Amino acid sequence: MKIAVNTRMLLKGKMEGIGYFTYESFRRIVKAHPEHEFIFIFDRPYDESFIFSENITPVVASPPARHPLLWYLWYEHSLPRVFKKTKADLFIGTDGYLSVASKIKTLSVFHDINFEHYPEDVPFFNRLFYRHYFPIYAQTAARIAAVSEFTKNDVVEKYKIDARKIDIVYNGVSEQFNPLSAAEITQVRNKFTQGQPYFLFVGSLHQRKNISNMLKAFDEYKKSASSPVKMVLAGAKRWWTDEMEKTLEQMQFKSDVIFTGRVNFDDLCRITAGALAMTYVSTFEGFGIPIIEAMRSGVPVITSNVTSMPEVAGNAALLCDPFSVSSIAESMMKIANDEQLRKTLIEAGLKRQNDFSWDKTAVQLWNSIEKTISS
């Protein structure tokens, strides 16, 4: 069978959530199933490291799909030509998108539909595209893989999809995330925070990541604690807003906030394991991979009590109300002051992270692919 895969999110040195999902799951799937041919479809020249085995045929389809008009051209015109030329039997839409113009059987992976709940968080034309096409994608796909029970239920409720059509395929966590020794933690803190402990946020600095409330909460914590603890934000300012900038400028402890920008993967693993706590208090997540990365690193987690985050965290994180600055600040205070709480959360987190792995993701996704083939 010829299985076409959307691999446009495989970008050397620039991968984010969907890219990692695609990379880690298909790196395993193609090797486990040499009886099938996999057609990896890129929208620009690709790095050879993404061609994992001999049963992969890479194809570059232009134009590079990086805004709504080009998305339309790529999915509705370029992809059907690739499917026809390669005689593909099945398409895996790793980012949820599919080609409406094509009759090829499709499995679409839905990571979240936050744009339905917080449209103001998404640029105007992106929002129009998403809200027009994703209901069509959900109806058109032969099957859907959802990265959490929350996302599955959200798609079922919002788009009136039969729940039996949707499989749960959880994200995994890289085995490179591990606890550090005390000496290694000191090295990390010397490099990033002048030797001080720090709360950590990892991800693109997007409005839905609740950056403003997190910064306000950190300022509130610092005012109460007289503590040397810093706040580190590791990620690119992709959607930095006026509100975030205003919040930062008005902070009393602005000098204790450190922006690293996007860090390489080795530094990401080390900066995660060196943290006092992961502070991941988004208003909306389809999964929230940094939660599990921190747990595997032996770092306690503060996260939100909404959407998928309680599902992913289980009983191994401190949950707070992301819409309440005082709730976030109180959680920071508890983590910083209660050593026994930190130990309890670390132990629970190390146990909880065992429920997630990219090996399990690959198996779950392949099971969903087989269901799609036979549907």
Give yes or no for a contact between 358 and 174, defined as CB atoms under 8 angstroms apart: yes
Residues 215, 159 share a domain: no
Q: What mean pLDDT comes out for the span 61-88?
A: 96
* Residue 366 reports pLDDT greater than 90: yes
CA dist 215 to 201, 232, 251, 303, 338, Å?
10, 10, 8, 14, 21
- Give me the residues paired with residue 6 across strands: 41
pTM for the model? 0.95
Backbone angles phi, psi at 195, to 5 degrees: 85, 5
Q: What mean pLDDT comes out for the span 322-341?
A: 97
Residues 220, 252 share a domain: yes
Where would I find the beta strands (DSSP E) of 111-229? 143-146, 166-168, 198-202
Each residue's pLDDT tens digit, 173-185: 999 999 999 999 9
Residues 271, 139 share a domain: no
Domain with 13 in it? 2-172+357-374
Up-side HSE of residue 16: CA atoms within 13 Å toward CB? 12
Each residue's pLDDT tens digit, 114-161: 999 999 988 899 999 999 999 999 999 999 999 999 999 999 999 999
What percent of the chain has pLDDT above 90?
94
Residues 364, 306 share a domain: no
Residues 323, 311 share a domain: yes
* Residue 207 reports pLDDT greater than 90: no
Each residue's pLDDT tens digit, 1-54: 999 999 999 999 888 889 999 999 999 999 999 999 999 999 999 999 999 999
Task: Indicate whether 177 belongs to any domain.
Answer: no
Residues 346, 364 share a domain: no
Residues 266, 364 share a domain: no
| pLDDT number for residue 238 | 78
CATH number for the domain including 14?
3.40.50.2000
* Residue 275 reports pLDDT greater than 90: yes
Q: What mean pLDDT comes out for the span 201-206?
A: 92
| pLDDT number for residue 239 | 81
Give yes or no for a contact between 9 and 19, defined as CB atoms under 8 angstroms apart: yes
Residues 133, 16 share a domain: yes
Query: How many separate domains does the chain show?
Result: 2
What percent of the chain has pLDDT above 70?
100
Residues 215, 163 share a domain: no
| pLDDT number for residue 91 | 98
| 154's tokens | 């959200």
Backbone angles phi, psi at 123, to 5 degrees: -50, 145
